[in-house]
Amino acid sequence: MEKVIPIKVSKDMKVKDLVDAMAKTGFGARKIGLAAKIAEEMFSDKECKVFLGVAGAMVPGGMKQLIIDLINKKYINVLVTTGANLTHDLAESLGHNHYHCDTWNDEKFNKEGYDRIYNVLMKNDVYGDLENFFSLNWDLFKDITKIKDLLSKIGELLPDNSNSILKACYKNNVPIYCPSLADSGIGLMIWGRLAAGKTIKVGAFEDMNDIIDFSWVSKRKGVIYIGGGVPKNFIQQSLQFSTAANYGIQITTDSPAGGGSSGAPLVEGKSWGKLEHDAEYVDVLCDATIALPLIFSRFL
């Protein structure tokens, strides 16, 4: 049996060393440490393709750069995320920012034109610039049939120096799947065009084949789920209908007991054929904005 080693921290300690030390403690810190180890195995396995699922407002939460850096360093093969994250990413690419708010008055924010996301604010006028973007570029979108191609086209259109998830995926040829894109600001901008009489050919089911095919041909697979939601489930079902994952890291604050997919521990996936019986995996019950920098700093 392995002993718990009390963690010894110091002012000049590196994050990597802290996380290695956490692996020797208990409770959640142990799990942060195990997640970093599993990420090391996942990323150093040459046969392994990595599926990253990102729910939750990770861009307003300040996690954009970390995701971009993982993509630029070629650690990620498939990204599945929410329309909200991509909308925030696009808004920042168009020059907008998010802002801190440690206390709040939502009626006042409404009057002043700010939208609140817990302790972060976005200016409501981002929608004007988003609308311009889609209005100006509509002709380039109108014949696209897949959501991932639409997102790739948006990435292509952004300035080359754009510090954006959409741009990083475009440059690195990482497909972005977003089955619920209609459920987002980007979706709303497209609705605006449709309401103005334009048409679009993007199908609701056209992307499924690509992700399931890619899962089929990937010999070994690693999954990283942040926050659960549609991104997790869309990867999980692609594994279910191809072959199971060999590595898994889940970061969520949801409880398993409610029965929802977001809180379901990875081990449940074994019953569905989504996780190999001999897989390496860990469930980290932690705010992703805290866990992500700890687990992934060593790779960046």
Work out the number of other CB atoms within 10 angstroms of the CB of residue 137.
Answer: 13
Residues of span 142-161 touching a copy of itself by CB under 8 A? 147
**Neighbouring-strand partners of residue 48:** 220
Has 146 been annotated as catalytic? no
Segment interacting with a copy of itself, rule: CB under 8 A, options 28-36, 43-51, 131-139, 152-160: 28-36
| 15 lies in the site for a copy of itself, by CB under 8 A | yes
Say which DSSP state 169 is in. H
Binding test (CB under 8 A) with a copy of itself, winner from 20, 28, 72, 129: 28
| CA–CA distance, 81 with 234 (Å, rounded to integer) | 10
| 188 lies in the site for a copy of itself, by CB under 8 A | yes
| CA–CA distance, 60 with 58 (Å, rounded to integer) | 6
- Length of the chain equals 300
One of 31, 167, 221, 274 is an active-site residue; which one? 274
Helix (H, G, I), strand (E, B) or coil at 130: helix
Segment interacting with a copy of itself, rule: CB under 8 A, options 40-48, 151-159, 167-175, 176-184: 176-184
Q: What are the φ and ψ backbone dihedral angles of 231, each rounded to 5 degrees? A: -55, -45
| CA–CA distance, 219 with 48 (Å, rounded to integer) | 7
| CA–CA distance, 15 with 56 (Å, rounded to integer) | 24
> Smallest gap, in angstroms, from Cβ of residue 178 to a copy of itself?
9
Segment interacting with a copy of itself, rule: CB under 8 A, options 16-24, 131-139, 152-160, 217-225: 16-24
> Smallest gap, in angstroms, from Cβ of residue 65 to a copy of itself?
4
Residues of span 31-60 touching a copy of itself by CB under 8 A? 31-32, 34, 55-57, 59-60
| 293 lies in the site for a copy of itself, by CB under 8 A | yes
Residues of span 235-274 touching a copy of itself by CB under 8 A? 237, 240-241, 253-262, 264, 267-273
| CA–CA distance, 66 with 244 (Å, rounded to integer) | 27
- Residue 225 near residue 238 (C-beta atoms within 8 A): no
| 94 lies in the site for a copy of itself, by CB under 8 A | no
| CA–CA distance, 213 with 3 (Å, rounded to integer) | 44
**Neighbouring-strand partners of residue 283:** 250
> Smallest gap, in angstroms, from Cβ of residue 72 to a copy of itself?
12
> Smallest gap, in angstroms, from Cβ of residue 228 to a copy of itself?
9
| 24 lies in the site for a copy of itself, by CB under 8 A | yes
Phi-psi category of residue 228: left, alpha or beta, with phi > 0 → left and psi -120 to 50 → alpha: left
> Smallest gap, in angstroms, from Cβ of residue 213 to a copy of itself?
9
Contacts of 221 (CB under 8 A, 6+ apart): 48, 49, 50, 51, 215, 239, 243, 244, 245, 246, 247
Binding test (CB under 8 A) with a copy of itself, winner from 20, 37, 45, 62: 62
Binding test (CB under 8 A) with a copy of itself, winner from 39, 90, 130, 202: 202
> Smallest gap, in angstroms, from Cβ of residue 171 to a copy of itself?
17
Known catalytic residues are 274
